Amino acid sequence: MKKKTDPRHLKRQKLMRQLFSWGFSRSNKTPAEIREIVSRLKKIDRLISQAAPDRPIAQINKIDLAILRLATFELIIKKETPLKVVIDEAVELGKEYGSDSSPAFVNGVLGKIVKII
């Protein structure tokens, strides 16, 4: 991430916020922007669970989970962005929105996912 005003970063922020909100409501009205991610959550969550076996999905901080779901989607399904960029962006989102431990947790989980895939 070069600047916080980078359009790609702003788009990821928006998607992460929508995933975060969706995680609480899980309504039938899934925003169009995250529909593809939500439709593949079983596969995404399975990978996150494999990469963080000591933290069940239900126990992962909701912000961290939204960041991990977005980044995992980009890594395994979208595959348009280099791995390092996806991970760097996810860590930056963790710094912006998560707790003090979020950046390290997100980085560690995504690092393990990269090894799995």
Model confidence pLDDT, tens digit, residues 55-68 = 999 999 999 999 99
Whole-angstrom Cα distance, residue 63 to residue 16? 8
Could you tell me the CA-to-CA distances from 95 to 4, 39, 103, 113 in Å, in that order? 12, 27, 6, 20
- Between 1.10.940.10, 3.20.20.80, 1.10.357.10, 2.70.70.10, what CATH number should domain 7-20+32-116 receive? 1.10.940.10
Judged against a pLDDT cut of 80, whether residue 27 lies above it is answered with no
pTM: 0.91
> What are the backbone dihedrals phi and psi of residue 98, each rounded to the nearest 5 degrees, phi first?
-90, -170
Largest CA distance in the chain: 36
Q: Where does the chain have alpha helices with state H?
A: 7-25, 35-39, 41-51, 62-73, 83-97, 102-116
